[in-house]
Structure 1
Amino acid sequence: MLLEFDEQNRLIRERALLDPTHVVEEDRIVGRDDQLQEVTKMLRVALGDNKPPNLFLYGPSGTGKSLITKAVCHNISRICETRDIRFGTIEVNCQDLDTLGVAVYELAKQAANEAGVEVEVPKHGVATKEKWDELYRIVNENFDSAVFVLDELDMLVGRRDKKEPAFSRLLYQLSRAGANDDLSAHISVVAISNDTKMMESVGSRALSSFTPEDVHFDDYDANQLQAILRRRQDAFFEDVLEDDVIPLASAFAAQTHGDARKAIDLMRVAGELAEREGNDRIREIHVRKAQDKVEKNRVLEVVRGISTQKKLCLFATAAVAAQTSDSTARSTTGYRVYQFLTDAIDADQYHQETYVNKMKELTTYSLVEFERRSHGPSSGMFLEFRFAERPETILETLREDSRIDTVSQSEIESVVKAQIRNAM
């Protein structure tokens, strides 16, 4: 069977170029000349065995923040090798890290991997201070200069009983380590976030010691996305892409905040689908199938890890958005549908304020965004939610939860339509 598949048409020549996390050469980075120049200019001082400044890179998901940081650090590392400077890039994604202690251990682990040594403290069962000491030991013994890249830092909230979020305490400790002589190596911290207001949640102590240089990344437009895909077109064999494939993939990605990761994913999935079907070319139909698949995969990845209450809030709001002409949902209408839903499955029911807070928390996943609105003095203020993906995809994915699936689709639609009429 393997040999049979191997004899089928192969359309993808270099799969690494269709991996959004793959570190590419600078000439493949499109539409980010200013940001690339800024990050390079500020981190290049590591080439002289000096301390680079701290950076805060912010903007929507998939706009090149991580890509540019990795590319610049990769080039610095290559040059440092020729100058006998021990340079390290210590990168963690904070999305799945739930406490400060886990984050510090993960940094120690990544530092050890970069240096080719072992971590000598366990992940659990020891105080966070011991993990800090181990991180300092590894960095001091193996690097002259290091850049800590903290991706999706705003997701590291930590325990709710703490006065400030875990990411604030992490920034404070790393920023102060050099001044306190815990670290002899020159270190720079690059904080990366989709949340433009993250720094507002950083404590005053951390803010005064972190003092980053800000670099803003805005959305890619459809033309820039096309250019990005054309720079990776050699991932495929010659003449296997039909002319409308790249423009269509770019248009789909431009609809969801100009996300380059999504555009690259669409091309990869479209190519894989065409290969599996035994086609000799990648066509528009494969991009459309890939769009459905990528959407469902992304939503599934997000909703799989959220609580039942967040699922109920999200389902109710998406059900409203699916029935409106502009695919938006008012918080007041969504809450009434949420009330119906919790009654129908006999679940705990939160007050409207808590429902709104749960929906706000979901904005950190880049799944939904909101604006504060009012339709005149008599209507009062409300939040208007807009989804990054099609609301129908979210509803379909959430119905994989057996409790939600017990409520009939027609019943939900009837309640939603009634509530939308009442809100007019």
Structure 2
Amino acid sequence: MDTDDTDSSQRESRTSESDPPEQAELSSESISTDSSGSDLPDSSDESDTATPEESSGTESQSIEDMLLEFDQQEGLIRDRSLLDPNYVVEEDRIVGRDTQLQKVTKMLRVALGDNRPPNLFLYGPSGTGKSLITKAVCKNISSICESRDIQFGTIEVNCQDLDTLGVAVYELTKQAADEAGVDVQVPKHGVATKEKWDELYRIVNENFDSVVFVLDELDMLVGRRDKKEPAFSRLLYQLSRSGANDDLNAYLSVVAISNDTRLMESVGSRAHSSFTPEDVHFDDYDANQLKAILRRRKDAFHDGVVNEDVIPLAAAFAAQTHGDARKAIDLIRVAGELAEREGDDHVGEKHVREAQDKVEKNRVLEVVRGISTQKKLCLYATAAVAAETEDGSARSTTGYRVYQFLTDTIDTDQYHQETYVNKMKELTTYSLVDFERRSHGPSSGMFLEFQFGERPDTILETLREDSRLEMVSSNEVETVVHAQLRNRN
């Protein structure tokens, strides 16, 4: 019997993903005492005590007054949607991706007629336009199809938060139902995965002539470890075979998007044979391309409020961290918001530098506050290695040995190396770390090499705020790292 593909066996028996509850800090109240040490009430009359507002002759504003006052201010930002990296912008705002844009457009345009578009594999670093171009092309195809009375649908899911094949199929079904404006008639849990597939096929067949399934961050859909084939491989096989099996009447195309350039090497032979995608590579943006991207979004601000040095500086910062356009856009957004809060009438270099520190620290804080102690240990160990290497990279084999030292030091459960690697791969979704598969000769075997989008020292500094990591001597960790790096060489 086909059962729901849940991930019930995903961790070793020794491990625990939950963080210990935080200890509440108690503060003692200050007590007035006389010279004899006895507690005394404050002898001053309350009526004689003036508040700071009364002393200064000003009245405090109510929350409503403050909100209305802010609402009436013109501010510096005119259109905040243009400062959202995920916002699908017009074609003339897409910069530095002419080749990729033409390839994707030419291959998907057959959806405008009575043909099935080819499957695509879009790969390259985070923030290089893969999702943006796919959404922009599909949005234009949808508009033209609507004028031709063709029912075209774009069904998009981000696989980073999907644990198993069954969950992924349900999410596709839900997105298809939302696109069609209908209801899903199967539950998320408690039914066989096949029933979810059947429901997906039913919704597509009844509501669409042609559909494009966009599978973003596909490499994150690993699924259960007891399966011989990763979940993303089985998903690709099932989708690409659905038309041949007469499960779908609509024309179907799959666009797989991944930061992992070697994803297809992990796809099973059956899926590889049926999927057979057209490859489109996206490389890093350089500083000039990032400047062009930001200039195309400069009208998000009111005229004349952005100083000339803002865009070049923001582009330079983003170019230093793997040419990520999302980071460049985030920088000028935060710089603008900082200038507004400070009451300045221009966005300048000072605000960009403040924004760089704020964005970097906020991103790290956002990640480490929401992850388990075990993931913090994996991240800490890997960042500690990267901080001591010339190129800022860390091999998974070296990082795991430092991780073992950390778990032994604080006397906590210890993952096997495979699980350590999987937890680090999960952290790639936060744009803190990327990885590549490497081999340094037949004797070294295969390993992952992690590289950080932020400074490893910033990550380490933030992680040390955790009370359990604070007790570990940074000098001892550094000594262990140096020893492991020597042994590696």
Identify which of 74, 90, 109 aligns with 2:174: 109
Residue 193 of structure 1 corresponds to: 258
Matched, 1:420 2:482: yes
In structure 2, relative to structure 1, the CA distance for the partners of 1:402 and 1:217 (3 Å cut) is same
Q: CA deviation at 1:5?
A: 1.6
Q: CA deviation at 1:391?
A: 0.9
Residue 285 of structure 1 corresponds to: 350
The 2-side partners of 1:131 and 1:357 are apart by: 27
Q: In structure 2, what residue type is equivalent to 1:116?
A: G
Q: Do 2:384 and 2:477's aligned partners in 1 also have CA atoms closer than 8 Å? A: no
Structure 1: which 5+ runs fail to align?
none
Q: In structure 1, what residue type is equivalent to 2:225?
A: R
Matched, 1:343 2:408: yes
| TM-score normalised by structure 2 residue count | 0.79
The 1-side partners of 2:196 and 2:339 are apart by: 48
The within-5 A match list for 1:27-176 is 27-176=92-241
Q: CA deviation at 1:231?
A: 0.6
Q: In structure 2, what residue type is equivalent to 1:413?
A: N
In structure 2, relative to structure 1, the CA distance for the partners of 1:349 and 1:82 (3 Å cut) is closer
Q: CA deviation at 1:359?
A: 5.0
Q: Do 1:8 and 1:278's aligned partners in 2 also have CA atoms closer than 8 Å? A: no
Could you tell which deviates more after superposition, 346-355 or 123-132? Answer: 346-355
In structure 2, relative to structure 1, the CA distance for the partners of 1:166 and 1:369 (3 Å cut) is closer
Q: Do 2:80 and 2:300's aligned partners in 1 also have CA atoms closer than 8 Å? A: yes
The 2-side partners of 1:345 and 1:43 are apart by: 54
Q: Do 1:195 and 1:364's aligned partners in 2 also have CA atoms closer than 8 Å? A: no
Identify which of 62, 81, 89 aligns with 1:16: 81
Q: CA deviation at 1:314?
A: 2.0
Q: Secondary structure at the match of 2:351?
A: helix
The 2-side partners of 1:216 and 1:210 are apart by: 17
Q: CA deviation at 1:256?
A: 1.3
In structure 2, relative to structure 1, the CA distance for the partners of 1:420 and 1:41 (3 Å cut) is same
Q: Do 1:319 and 1:412's aligned partners in 2 also have CA atoms closer than 8 Å? A: no
The 1-side partners of 2:109 and 2:301 are apart by: 34
For these two proteins, the number of residue pairs brought into alignment is 419
Q: Secondary structure at the match of 2:128?
A: coil
The 2-side partners of 1:195 and 1:266 are apart by: 25
Q: Secondary structure at the match of 2:178?
A: helix
In structure 2, relative to structure 1, the CA distance for the partners of 1:415 and 1:175 (3 Å cut) is closer
Residue 453 of structure 2 corresponds to: 388
Residue 245 of structure 2 corresponds to: 180
Matched, 1:213 2:278: yes
- Structure 1 residues 288-321: Cα deviation after superposition (integer angstroms, max 9, x where no partner): 2222222233334444565533421321232343
Residue 20 of structure 2 corresponds to: none
Q: Secondary structure at the match of 1:88?
A: strand
Q: In structure 2, what residue type is equivalent to 1:265?
A: D
Q: In structure 1, what residue type is equivalent to 2:104?
A: V
Q: CA deviation at 1:59?
A: 0.6
The 2-side partners of 1:169 and 1:373 are apart by: 27
The 2-side partners of 1:186 and 1:79 are apart by: 17
- Structure 1 residues 256-306: Cα deviation after superposition (integer angstroms, max 9, x where no partner): 111111111111111111112221111112112222222233334444565
The within-5 A match list for 1:257-336 is 257-303=322-368, 306-323=371-388, 327-329=392-394, 334=399
Q: Do 2:184 and 2:199's aligned partners in 1 also have CA atoms closer than 8 Å? A: yes
Q: CA deviation at 1:77?
A: 0.6
Q: Do 1:337 and 1:416's aligned partners in 2 also have CA atoms closer than 8 Å? A: no
Larger Rg: 2
Q: Do 2:402 and 2:480's aligned partners in 1 also have CA atoms closer than 8 Å? A: no
Q: Do 2:160 and 2:426's aligned partners in 1 also have CA atoms closer than 8 Å? A: no
Q: Do 2:160 and 2:429's aligned partners in 1 also have CA atoms closer than 8 Å? A: no
- Structure 1 residues 336-361: Cα deviation after superposition (integer angstroms, max 9, x where no partner): 64344223311234577876676566
The 2-side partners of 1:112 and 1:380 are apart by: 46
The 2-side partners of 1:210 and 1:40 are apart by: 19
Q: Secondary structure at the match of 1:30?
A: coil
Q: In structure 2, what residue type is equivalent to 1:276?
A: R
Q: Secondary structure at the match of 2:339?
A: helix
Q: In structure 2, what residue type is equivalent to 1:412?
A: S
Q: Do 1:369 and 1:388's aligned partners in 2 also have CA atoms closer than 8 Å? A: no
In structure 2, relative to structure 1, the CA distance for the partners of 1:183 and 1:303 (3 Å cut) is farther
| TM-score normalised by structure 1 residue count | 0.90
Could you tell which deviates more after superposition, 208-217 or 269-278? Answer: 269-278
- Structure 1 residues 37-67: Cα deviation after superposition (integer angstroms, max 9, x where no partner): 0000000001113211111101110110000
RMSD of aligned alpha carbons: 2.8
Would you tell me which structure has more helix in proportion to its own residues?
1
The 2-side partners of 1:273 and 1:87 are apart by: 42
The percentage of aligned residue pairs carrying the same residue is: 82
In structure 2, relative to structure 1, the CA distance for the partners of 1:193 and 1:333 (3 Å cut) is closer
- Structure 1 residues 207-250: Cα deviation after superposition (integer angstroms, max 9, x where no partner): 11111111111110000000000011111101111111111111
